[in-house]
Structure 1
Amino acid sequence: MEEKPFKEVRILTSHPGRMRVITSALQAAEQILTNWPVEEGEVLSAAKHALLSCPEENLSPGAARFVFIQAAKEGGNYVDEPERGPPTGKPTRWHKAKGRRRS
C-alpha cells in the first residue's frame, strides 16, 4: 500500500489524554484496523473499504483524509483543528530590523 501523505489529523487514543497524529492513508488504515474505539458503523465500514482499496482506485490523499475524519467523528475520537484567532491588524515583520547608527 502506498503512503499517500495528507495534512495531519489528530485523534484520541485509547490512553486517556493522549493523541495520535495521522499523516497518510496507510497510517489511517492501520489505525482503523488495529486500534479503533468502535467495532461497527456505517461510516467506519465505508472508510475501511476506501482506505484499503486506496491504491487500486487511485483515491486521492484529500479524499482519504476526508473519509478518515468522518470515521473518527463517528467513533468519537476526532480532535478538531485549533481555531486561529481573528487577525490583530498589526503588520507582520518578516525581516530583522537594521540597527540604527549613532552619531
Structure 2
Amino acid sequence: MSHPFPPVTIESRRLGKPENICSVTEAAEFLLMKWPVHQGQKLKAARQRCYDVLDGNASAADARSAFIEAAKEADIFVDYIKTGR
C-alpha cells in the first residue's frame, strides 16, 4: 500500500526540475535514495515518520508534514505561494 497524500512539490536536483511526491512510499524512497543531503534532524524525523506509517503507527498526513519540513531543511521545497508559480 502506498498511503497516498496530496502532492508535495520539491526541486529534484538530479532531474533539474520540480517533482511531485504523492505518497508515503514515494516519500520514503526519495528520502532514502535521492535526498540531496545525508544529515539533518528533520530528515531523520521524516524517515522515521514514513516507517511509522508503513508499520501502521502514524497517518499519511503525519508523514507528509514531516516530509515538507525535511524538504524545507534541505532547501528543496517548492512553495508555489512564495514563488508565484
Aligned residue in 2 for 1:101: none
Aligned residue in 1 for 2:78: 79
Identity of aligned residues (%): 37
Give the helix-richer structure, 1 or 2: 2
CA-CA distance at 1:82 after TM superposition: 3.7
Distance in 2, Cα, partners of 1:61 & 1:81: 22
Aligned residue in 1 for 2:69: 70
Matched, 1:43 2:42: yes
SS of the residue corresponding to residue 79 of structure 1 reads coil
Distance in 1, Cα, partners of 2:80 & 2:4: 18
Give ranges in structure 2 of 5+ residues lacking alignment.
none
Worse overlay, 58-67 or 29-38: 58-67
- Between 1 and 2, higher relative CO (CA 8 Å, sep ≥ 6) is seen in 2
Give ranges in structure 1 of 5+ residues lacking alignment.
84-103
List structure 1 runs of 4+ shifted beyond 4 angstroms. none
Worse overlay, 10-19 or 61-70: 10-19
RMSD over aligned Cα, in angstroms? 1.9
TM-score, length basis structure 1: 0.72
Q: How many residues align?
A: 83
